[in-house]
């Protein structure tokens, strides 16, 4: 039940009625009509811009059109008052009969309250993490992983058919470095002599068990063998071992993927998909042989002064055409990425979302250009950039991990503070803003710790309901049964504030999904928790406002219905974020 969508329909119906009466001109673009909360809560519960955006086409002054629309809206059930403000803004106040309907919907729909049909079942591919399979995930990967997973959950809740995908970068030079690093650990395991890891290889202890397993499997067979003999074998085994580790790290964070896609498969399978993609683009005129001009200003990393195979990315808004082949005849990373996204298009994904680190910001235009080219303009690529995370403990920077050899691992952070704290705090700031993550603060049991504050609100609601069940032994067991309580008794301003907040949840879901901003969910939950804690605190000072009134069963039933509603929406929002809605704090 989306109150704002319902009243947007009422506004459109009012305009249609005026058109039918001949009061205003026809052919109005009603899609521009918006109903939202007013900036000032004292102006009412809802506000609409209808008169401001339709006046010119309607042939009326905005205020005159606003008065005409307001006249129609005053007859809508549940409307208490409609005012016209300023040049033509329309403010709507709802009467007490409306809010019980919203709360009843929350109780009856449960965790599905707020679920939207916005996506209409459209397929969307969300690709995130996609870390190189060369070691354990670090805390920088953590933010992108949490953001991508929460965004996928949000898109699903908003009605999209979501596929979560991980792109395994297993075709670049970095996996050969991994194989050579594993060989040194293999030699260490065979000889018993500590490995001396030179610069340029991976020194982390996580490769020790990989070397030991290779030694168990092959003995000393490859000790004196040339690199060409063992490199493919060690590379394949090490990548597999790293992906097992990465999957375990992600599982600790509550993340799983439907698809793991191998970069290597694009060029080593039965069909060379990279070559086929280049050939198709050449046939359609988007690929040509030419020379790039010398870069102006900042150097372009892939510029070479030679004739080469180029993609016409400037035709799609990029700054310069991009090379697809290196001088040694191998494909550029960009060429592989084009083929990969074409594969997504071939699998039926015309809406794609990639989650990348902020250092890849310069890569966005060319990939969006490539997606347009390989899909004939039918597909879209949205790229969400994730800013860095700085890790602290009690205000002091956290030093690197011994296990990784160079960074703090994701698993170490999750093991120290817990999955819920990591997920919620990674989403308590917009993804394109840097994030300072303090390991000490996120486990504090205080109002200053947002994840504790929100989880405590849910636990407090459950505690109230348990206490009520002890005092009133014949209470309904299911939240939906409270929908028949005398909800009209909820007339205190604090109660009405909570009801309005619950009513805004469906709109918030659609806004957050449309903007690709799951952090809005965490902000909403924090606001709802604050209002719920505030109402509970008011009851400490004013006994008549308590949720349980021993000598007034009817009022208690109504207030318990409200508590159920708050707990339901908190649990629903936390589920979207992948955070546990705890029933009691320990």
Mean pLDDT across the stretch 523-527?
A: 98
Asked whether the predicted pLDDT for residue 476 surpasses 80, the reply is: yes
Strands (E), 375-481: 380-386, 389-393, 396-397, 435-438
Predicted confidence at residue 403, as pLDDT, reads 58
184 against 57, higher pLDDT = 184
Question: Which pLDDT band holds residue 300 (cuts at 50, 70, 90)?
Answer: low
Mean pLDDT across the stretch 337-348?
A: 98
Share of the chain above pLDDT 70, in %: 98
> Which pLDDT tens digit goes with each residue over 42-68?
889 999 999 999 998 888 999 999 999
Predicted confidence at residue 409, as pLDDT, reads 87
Tell me the average pLDDT of the chain: 93
The two structure tokens encoding residue 91: 């403010």
Question: Which pLDDT band holds residue 302 (cuts at 50, 70, 90)?
Answer: low
Residue given tokens 């704290």 in the structure block: 421
- Contact present, 233 and 225 (Cβ < 8 Å): no
Predicted confidence at residue 297, as pLDDT, reads 64
* SS3 label, residue 481: helix
Predicted confidence at residue 327, as pLDDT, reads 87
Predicted confidence at residue 298, as pLDDT, reads 56
Beta strands 351-357; 380-386: pairing state: parallel
Question: Which pLDDT band holds residue 185 (cuts at 50, 70, 90)?
Answer: very high
Beta strands 46-48; 35-36: pairing state: antiparallel
Asked whether the predicted pLDDT for residue 348 surpasses 90, the reply is: yes
Cα distance between residue 129 and residue 168, in whole Å: 9
**Dihedral-angle region of residue 439 (phi above 0 means left; psi in -120 to 50 means alpha; beta otherwise):** alpha
Predicted confidence at residue 404, as pLDDT, reads 59
> Which pLDDT tens digit goes with each residue over 306-342?
899 999 999 988 888 999 999 889 999 999 999 999 9
Beta strands 259-262; 161-168: pairing state: parallel
Question: Which pLDDT band holds residue 249 (cuts at 50, 70, 90)?
Answer: very high
> Which pLDDT tens digit goes with each residue over 395-451?
888 876 655 566 788 999 999 999 999 999 999 999 999 999 999 999 999 999 999
Write phi, then psi, for 136 (nearest 5 degrees): -65, 155
């Amino acid at each position: 039940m989306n109150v704002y969508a319902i009243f947007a329909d009422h506004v459109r119906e009012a305009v249609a009625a005026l058109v039918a009466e001949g009061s205003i001109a026809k052919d109005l673009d009603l899609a521009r009509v918006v109903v939202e909360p007013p900036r000032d809560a004292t102006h009412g519960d809802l506000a609409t811009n209808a008169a401001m955006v339709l006046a010119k086409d309607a042939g009326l002054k905005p205020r005159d059109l606003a008065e005409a629309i307001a006249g129609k809206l005053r007859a809508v059930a549940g409307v208490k008052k409609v005012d016209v403000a300023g040049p033509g803004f329309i403010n709507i106040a709802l009467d007490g009969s409306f809010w019980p309907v919203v709360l009843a919907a929350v109780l009856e729909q449960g965790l599905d309250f707020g679920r939207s049909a916005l996506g209409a079942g459209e397929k969307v591919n969300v690709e995130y993490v996609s870390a190189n399979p060369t070691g354990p995930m670090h805390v920088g990967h953590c933010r992108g992983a949490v953001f991508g997973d929460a965004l996928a959950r949000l898109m699903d809740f908003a009605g999209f058919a979501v596929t979560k995908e991980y792109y395994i970068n297993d075709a670049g030079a970095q996996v050969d470095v991994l194989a050579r690093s594993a060989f040194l650990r293999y030699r260490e395991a065979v000889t018993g002599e500590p490995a001396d890891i030179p610069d340029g290889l991976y020194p982390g202890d996580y490769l020790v068990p990989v070397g030991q397993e290779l030694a168990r499997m092959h003995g000393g067979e490859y000790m004196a063998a040339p690199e060409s003999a063992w490199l493919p074998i060690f590379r394949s085994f090490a990548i597999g071992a790293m992906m097992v580790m990465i999957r375990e790290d992600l599982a600790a964070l509550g993340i799983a993927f439907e698809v793991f896609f191998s970069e290597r498969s694009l060029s080593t399978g039965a069909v060379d998909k990279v070559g086929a993609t280049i050939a198709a683009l050449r046939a359609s005129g988007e690929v040509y042989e030419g020379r790039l001009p010398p870069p102006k200003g900042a150097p372009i990393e892939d510029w070479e002064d030679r004739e080469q195979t180029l993609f016409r990315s400037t035709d799609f808004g990029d700054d310069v055409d991009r090379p697809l082949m290196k001088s040694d005849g191998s494909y550029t990373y960009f060429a592989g990425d084009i083929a990969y996204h074409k594969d997504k298009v071939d699998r039926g994904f015309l809406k794609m979302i990639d989650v990348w680190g902020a250092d890849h910001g310069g890569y966005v235009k060319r990939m969006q250009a490539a997606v347009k080219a390989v899909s004939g303009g039918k597909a879209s690529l949205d790229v969400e950039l994730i800013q860095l995370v700085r890790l602290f403990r009690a205000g002091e920077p956290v030093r690197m991990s011994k296990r990784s050899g160079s960074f703090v691992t994701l698993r170490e952070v999750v093991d120290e503070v817990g999955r819920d704290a990591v997920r919620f705090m990674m989403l308590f700031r917009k993804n394109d803003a840097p994030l300072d993550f303090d390991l000490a603060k996120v486990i504090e049991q205080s109002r200053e710790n947002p994840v504790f504050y929100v989880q405590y609100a849910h636990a407090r609601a459950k505690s109230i309901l348990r206490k009520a069940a002890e005092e009133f032994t014949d209470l309904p067991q299911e939240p939906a049964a409270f929908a028949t309580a005398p909800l009209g008794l909820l007339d205190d301003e604090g109660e009405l504030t909570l009801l309005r907040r619950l009513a805004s949840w469906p709109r918030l879901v659609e806004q957050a999904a449309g903007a690709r901003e799951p952090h809005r969910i965490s902000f909403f939950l924090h606001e709802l928790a604050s209002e719920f804690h505030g109402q509970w605190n008011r009851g400490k000072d004013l006994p008549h406002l308590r949720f349980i009134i021993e000598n007034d069963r009817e009022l208690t039933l109504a207030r318990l219905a409200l508590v159920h509603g708050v707990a339901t929406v908190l649990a629903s929002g936390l589920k979207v974020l992948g955070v546990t809605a705890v029933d009691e704090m320990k």
